[in-house]
Amino acid sequence: MAAPRMPFGPPFNVRHRHPDWQKRLAALVNSRARKPYRYGLYDCGTFVGEAVIAVTGVAPLLDVELPRGWMALAKFMIANNLNDMEELATAVLGVHGDAEESQSGDVISWRYAGEMYLAVRCGDEAVAPGQHGLEGGGRRAWSLAWAVGR
């Protein structure tokens, strides 16, 4: 599926990772391990953005004011003809692939409690903010993946 055209430019196209990206990603995960989910302030989208910066050193959305709160996000999604987080990830990160072929540091979509979330692959788990901090999801829940920095 081709990425929809977004008002903030073409999809993220950084094809390098920091030499110490694994340490940077581990530091991010450790610092966020107990930080609870707060929609629009610390949610799957904001965590994925932080992880992309940790892995590549480049923000996936430069010069874009991100929506804060569920109503602002809903308006943003409708205005940009996006139906879900997977479409938003494709618009920002580019073409997706099969989650089974992903690697640590890549972005994963996964289903949890009937909802679609974005997460970051860390080893054999994908982690994303939850009610009491980061939560992990095994491969059975994974759907799509976006390569980050490779």
pLDDT tens, N- to C-terminus, the chain (150 residues): 444 445 556 677 788 999 999 999 999 999 999 999 987 778 898 899 999 999 999 988 766 677 777 788 888 888 888 888 899 899 889 999 999 999 999 999 988 778 888 999 999 999 999 999 999 888 888 999 999 999
Q: Could you identify the residue written with the tokens 């788990």?
A: 125
Q: What is the pLDDT of residue 30?
A: 97
* CATH class of the 21-146 domain in this structure: alpha beta
Which pLDDT belongs to residue 5? 47
Q: In what order do the strands lie in the sheet with 115-122?
A: 97-98, 142-146, 107-112, 115-122, 125-130, 133-137
Tokens representing 12?
């993220």
* pLDDT value of position 1: 47
Q: How many residues does the chain have?
A: 150
What secondary structure does DSSP assign to 17-59, as a single string?
--TTHHHHHHHHHHHHTTPPPBTTTBSHHHHHHHHHHHHHSS-
Q: Tokens 């609870």 appear where?
A: 36
Cα 75 to Cα 46: distance, rounded to the nearest angstrom: 17
Q: Residue written as tokens 């879900």?
A: 84
Query: What pLDDT score was predicted for residue 9?
Result: 61
pTM of the model: 0.87
The Cα 61–Cα 93 span in angstroms is: 9
Q: For residue 133, what are its two tokens?
A: 């901090």
Can you give the pLDDT at residue 41? 79
| Pair 145, 98: CB distance under 8 Å | yes
